[in-house]
Amino acid sequence: MRFEMLKETKHPKKNLFLQYGNWHWDDSEPSQGYRFIWKSPEGKLLPQRGQAYIESLDEAMELMAQAMKEGWASPKTWTE
């Protein structure tokens, strides 16, 4: 799998980026989508910190809204 970044935006305070681009899969046709990815202060990708294919921002927003509805969107709201 290889990701070809077309657009990106940076979190205002962290080295966390939302990127849009082409996902080139090893066993199927390429697809377009999004990913969140971390970068080092020098601008190098840190995929070991995690990345995930997100087909649409609607999907990401739906999942974030569901986490908010369930009460665990922010660690500050977590209860044990």
Residue pLDDT, tens place only, 16-44: 999 999 999 999 999 999 999 999 999 99
**Average pLDDT taken over every residue of the chain:** 87
Write a three-state SS string for the chain: CEEEEEEEEECCCCCEEEEEEEEECCCCCCEEEEEEEEECCCCCECHHHCCCCECCHHHHHHHHHHHHHHCCCCHHHCCC
**Residue 26 pLDDT:** 94
**Residue 76 pLDDT:** 67
DSSP run (H or E) holding 63: helix 57-70
Report the domain count for the chain. Answer: 1
Domain residues for 24?
2-77
Return the closest-CA partner of residue 10 out of 21, 1, 18: 18
**Residue 78 pLDDT:** 59
Confidence (pTM): 0.73
